[in-house]
Amino acid sequence: MVISLPVRLICHQCKTIIYEDPELTSPSEIIERNGSKCPHCSAALRFDPSSLTISVRGASKKGLLKIFQK
């Protein structure tokens, strides 16, 4: 069973959703596609894994937890 979770990249400054798709795409690739700037406010975009926020919402949360629990 494959669970497809939407991936969402949000500008830290204006909170605009820059990318949203169920397919996993690297944040670096998304940032590069946008010229390292938010298309809405032109804030500089960078990928810093230490500031990454991962959240699971909705019904898929139970399925995700079951996959990772041993």
* Domain range list for the chain: 7-46+56-68
Residue 7: which residues within 8 A CB-CB, separation 6 or more? Answer: 19, 20, 21, 22, 23, 24, 25
| pTM score over 0.85 | no
- Report pLDDT digits (tens) over 18-66: 888 877 788 888 889 999 999 999 999 888 877 767 666 655 544 444 4
Confidence class for position 69, pLDDT limits 50, 70, 90: very low
